[in-house]
Structure 1
């Protein structure tokens, strides 16, 4: 399966590629599809989620309901065609693209722009904003990513 390049933009459709520095996190081949991984970027804990189709997401590792940094141990799934991550503690389910909580309007999971540049996963973590809850998480691929069917 192949992914096609996309370009990050904010919720209004404006280019956001230059709005914050991109931080290299790891090589893409270090991520296993359907398993979230934690990363610490400038003091912010982030959970990376790679789907089998090549879509990559970066969200806060901090559970909005409890404040515990456990989202990288959450359950990756879907609601219809929307990719999700469920908290491992109380099982609140969050949309990986928007951070919306399906089970409670009281919570939202911050999302971060993420891309793959020549095989390296990169994330934008705004200084004090710690993500963009309620905005679409974008993936930019400068390489074509291919996954073989298991």
Structure 2
């Protein structure tokens, strides 16, 4: 995470089935745009959700939810659709320009519902 703020509260975002596997969506959580990603590893047991800020500091646009998901080594990343900077979905770290790192938020799936703590 870019900063060490603690989660304020868990907020329901959408049903997991509302997010196409291996893509992201943008959700407004407590007034903040959050990019929420549904990442699969091949089986239902390997489904994970991640949440980071949607704002890309490099392009100054709220576009990270529309980026392409992939991996670089052991890291699961999203590539910004504008300048292709890679953001670690677990930490929010920008791999090319650490100064562009974004906040990462706790996310979980419970009874098919995606929850994010901002």
TM-score by length of 1: 0.68
Q: Structure 2 CA distance, aligned partners of 1:119 and 1:73? A: 22
Report which of the two has the higher share of strand. Answer: 2
Q: Structure 1 CA distance, aligned partners of 2:105 and 2:62? A: 16
In the alignment, is residue 98 of structure 1 matched against residue 91 of structure 2? yes
Q: Structure 2 CA distance, aligned partners of 1:101 and 1:50? A: 19
Aligned residue among 62, 65, 71 for 2:64: 71
Segments of 5+ residues of structure 1 without an aligned counterpart are: 1-10, 126-150
Instruction: Determine the structure 2 residue equivalent to 1:46.
Output: 34
Q: Structure 1 CA distance, aligned partners of 2:60 and 2:79? A: 14
Segments of 5+ residues of structure 2 without an aligned counterpart are: 42-46
User: Map of 1:25-64 to 2, 5 A cutoff?
Assistant: 25-53=13-41, 54-64=47-57
Runs of 4+ in structure 1 over 6 Å off: none
How many residue pairs get aligned? The number is 109
Question: Radius of gyration: which is bigger?
Answer: 1
